[in-house]
Amino acid sequence: MSSPAHRLDHGAEPITLQLGEDHADIREAVRRVCAGFPQEYWRGLEDGEKYPTGFIDALTEAGFLAALIPEQYGGSGLPLRAAAVIMEEICAAGCHAAAGHAQMYIMGTVLRHGSEEQKQRYLPEIAAGRLRLQAFGVTEPTTGSDTTQLKTRATRTDKGYRLNGQKVWTSRALHSDLMLVLARTTPAAEVKSKTEGISTFLIDIRAGLGKGLTIRPIQAMVNHHATEVFFEDLDVPADALVGEEGKGFRYILDGMNAERMITAAEAIGSTRWFVRTATAYANERVVFKRPIGANQAIQFPIAQAHVQMEAADMMVRRATALFEAGLPCGAEANMARYLAAECLWNAAEACMQTHGGFGFAREYNVERKWREARLARIAPVSTNLILANIAQNVLGLPRSY
């Protein structure tokens, strides 16, 4: 049965917004895969910060990580909304979608801006699971979110480019075959706009390790397999350049809307997990001869998280509908990401508070998901940066300093 739909007027073009449990067949298929990876599996990965190789292999075999790759390159050719649903259901099952989500939106840079030769060489291999494109080298220690000021340089050589610089918080670089890297090809002092002179490269990690490329793990509060990456005279071929030289910043921005929507859907899925888990425990836990869920101090935070989750879900649906229609969706993508991060944190807090001391016990799985929830307000984009973007670019308020 198809889901109810709502039509939005955006200029002269009406857009259909699917309501209810859309893509029910995909949701059920994702749930079946996730059922094979219970909470014990994820707890076991915490010691030693192990990578969920089995889970990623299962997602790849089911075709989920190739959802956005067109059929001509071996993928499923699904719309962005379907990809968001996949990530949402993974998180709603209590699994860890971030271990594989980057492959969905990183490959979009190659698909939209790469040469046909690059698409033919890489996309079928990624779709089949023979290559992993999971790493995205953008953030640097001294520049943080100000991507225009990055220090990593790529200088031309007779055979291609030579990279020097450092990236930080590059997740999954030690579990990826390929990595997208943003580097300056023209010094900032020599360009008219600070967004010019930045290029995107598709680096073969396997070929570079020990030959100018060094990757070191960063121990962190959450098991996101974060690393710092060092480039020391790393030579890469000319065909590692994606698109035109100097246009890389625009290419990255082009993919950020999809990233915002996919990670917002993940946050909604994790919120569903927290609301469901908190509700079940509040009904089962009896103190003073009645379920603790009878107390409004327990009820209200859970109910509030549920309400906020439904609102965030509607914004994700709106944003993906605009994206699929080829219409401007930057503001909607940012608002979806903000609402989802906030409802997730509120749900995590409600679930932790409902469980009380037992929330800190690993066997209840709340503390692991709680730690993951806190990250959503910082990465992949800070909620404060989103608010600044909305204030300045949507509301027309002065740029802050």
Res 10: pLDDT: 58
Q: How would you write the pLDDT of the chain (401 residues) with one tens digit per residue?
A: 446 777 666 555 667 777 778 999 999 999 999 999 999 999 999 988 899 999 999 999 999 999 999 999 999 999 999 999 999 999 999 999 998 888 888 888 999 999 999 999 999 999 999 999 999 999 999 887 788 889 999 999 999 999 999 999 999 999 999 999 999 999 989 999 989 999 999 999 999 999 999 999 999 888 889 999 999 999 999 999 999 999 999 998 878 899 999 999 999 999 999 999 999 999 999 999 999 999 999 999 999 999 999 999 999 999 999 999 999 999 999 999 999 999 999 999 999 999 999 999 999 999 999 999 999 999 889 999 999 999 999 999 998 76
Q: Which tokens go with 260? A: 């915002």
Name the phi and psi angles at 193, rounded to 5: -115, 140
- Whether 84 contacts 27, CB under 8 Å: no
Reply yes or no on whether 259 is catalytic. yes
134-249 belongs to CATH 2.40.110.10? yes
**Rounded to whole angstroms, how far apart are CA atoms 307 and 224?**
29
pLDDT in tens, 53-82: 999 999 999 999 999 999 999 999 999 999
Q: Does pTM top 0.85 for this prediction? A: yes
CA dist 37 → 42, 94, 157, 368 (Å): 8, 9, 47, 15
- Whether 87 contacts 265, CB under 8 Å: yes
pLDDT in tens, 187-208: 989 999 989 999 999 999 999 9
CATH class of 5-132: mainly alpha
- Domains in the chain: boundaries: 5-132, 134-249, 256-394
Q: Count CA within 13 A, CB hemisphere, residue 327.
A: 17
Res 20: pLDDT: 74
Instruction: Strands of 92-142 (E only): list them.
Output: 133-137
Dihedral sign, Cα of residue 61, residue 376, residue 139, residue 320:
positive
- Whether 248 contacts 199, CB under 8 Å: yes
Residues 75, 76, 80: CA angle, nearest 5 degrees = 110
Burial track 250-281 (b if 16+ CB lie within 10 A, e otherwise)? ebbeebbbbbbbbbbbbbbbbbbbbbbbbbeb
Q: Which tokens go with 144? A: 């943080």
Catalytic residue, chosen from 140, 196, 259, 349, is: 259
- Whether 99 contacts 222, CB under 8 Å: no
Which fold, 256-394? Butyryl-CoA Dehydrogenase, subunit A; domain 3 (1.20.140)
- Whether 93 contacts 277, CB under 8 Å: no
